[in-house]
Amino acid sequence: MLKTIQASQIAGSLGAEIRGVSLADELPDDVIAEIRQALLKYQVIFFRDQKLTPEQQIAFGKRFGDLDTHEFVLGMPDHPEIIRVVREADETTLNFGGAWHADVTHQESPAMGSILYAVDVPPYGGDTLFSNQYLAYETLSEGMKRMLDGMTAIHTARGPFAPEGRSKNNWKNMQVVTSEKAYEEMEHPVIRTHPETGRKMLFVNKTFTVRFKDMTEQESAPLLDYLFRHASHERFTCRFRWTPGAVAFWDNRAVLHYALNDYTGYRREMYRVAIAGDRPF
């Protein structure tokens, strides 16, 4: 039961807007505990009309754990924990985050959560979609669940961040550093157990998952393609319309997200911090 904040669910599968709190304040522990409770219940929570300095966004993120720095996207010079997700009005190429994904699953311990703050938003477009991966798992057939339980998937950052990756021709106004390190591979379970709720979820995504362990990419492709489509089915999703000062805080363990690219001719800038996570099991 939430006592100090109010939550209004925005879609049938996940997502809620939170009222009654200013994230710029030094919030008491019981309010932080309620925000975490809401995050676990709704998987992604939204706050409107916030006014955050970089220092305040960092301080809020640290109430939930240590902060990650991105391996391939440089943070702000004075605040390396914050990356600027920016697309200028004259850009026409792929936007950053413009595919269904969970953040940094190429890492041994992917982020627990991400906090995105709207600095500059277009007059329309640029919404973000989120998809509930508990439901993605729970709606699989019993036969598919049995097959996937115990399977391991290979994740790598080579698609976006290798020297010949997507960043070569995109994201010109972001501080992206390509590296041979992007070719490194990491193993994660296809079906992950959430460390706080104990629920099982599907844990593959099109941006970073390339094959199953002990299988070739060609052999893996038919099943992975099915899982990618299934994971983002509309009945698992919610859609968030950004406004100036809005904040989205999502459980990166339990959701996928997708930044829509439908605002060419307008500028969009977000500040993102990521909370360190643990090794999936």
Pairing of strands 44-47, 16-19: parallel
From 70, 106, 253, 257, the catalytic residue = 257
Query: Nearest CA to 85 among 252, 255, 274, 254?
Result: 274
101 is an active site residue: yes
What is the band of 88 on the pLDDT scale with cuts at 50, 70, 90? very high
- Give me the catalytic one of 84, 101, 166, 211: 101
| Res. 1 pLDDT band, cuts 50 70 90 | low
Is 211 catalytic? The answer is no
Question: How distant, in Å, are the alpha carbons of 96, 167, 205 from that of 181?
Answer: 20, 14, 20
Q: Per-domain residue ranges for the chain?
A: 68-275
Is residue 257 part of the annotated active site? The answer reads: yes
pTM of the predicted protein model: 0.96
pLDDT of residue 168: 81
What sign has the CA pseudo-torsion 185, 186, 189, 191? negative
What distance in Å separates the CA atoms of residue 70 and residue 166, rounded to the nearest whole number? 17
- Answer yes or no: 279 catalytic: no
250 DSSP β-pair partners = 44, 114
Q: Which CATH superfamily is domain 68-275 in?
A: Clavaminate synthase-like (3.60.130.10)
Q: Helix, strand, or coil here: 71?
A: coil
Report pLDDT for 55: 98
Model pLDDT, residue 167: 85
Give 51-84 pLDDT, tens digit per residue.
999 999 999 999 999 999 999 999 999 999 999 9
Q: What is the mean pLDDT of residues 190-200?
A: 98
pLDDT reading at 11 higher than 80: yes
Which of 70, 84, 87, 103 is flagged as catalytic?
103
